[in-house]
Amino acid sequence: MTVRFLALYETPADPETFDRHYREVHLPLGRRLPGLRRYVVGRDVAAVRGGAPCYLVAELQWDTMDELRAAFASPEGRATAADAARLQELTAVRSMIFTVDASVM
């Protein structure tokens, strides 16, 4: 099983400031989340069926939903969430998504 948290960001008014903050502040905070298995960032992601592209999509993975919940409840999770509020001053978050995947093969 894999549990994913996805955050989809709109294009910022000042991409350089957003990118610098994400790279230098937010990414290091997120990497310290307990139990985190993988952290992937995609840029200029377009929907297959219309819709405006996202400037940035962040995908974080844990083994279980309990581990994800514990990570966000931890001091590291609270610090990351506080910084996410700063990111929202730089650009809108289009959506945040939680998924739970089970292997079908």
Domains observed in the chain? 2-99 (3.30.70.100)
R_g of the chain, CA atoms, integer Å: 14
Per-residue pLDDT, averaged over 75-81, amounts to 96
Dihedral over Cα of 74, 76, 80, 83: its sign: positive
For the entire predicted model, the pTM comes to: 0.84
Residue 105 pLDDT: 58
What integer best gives the mean pLDDT of the chain? Answer: 89
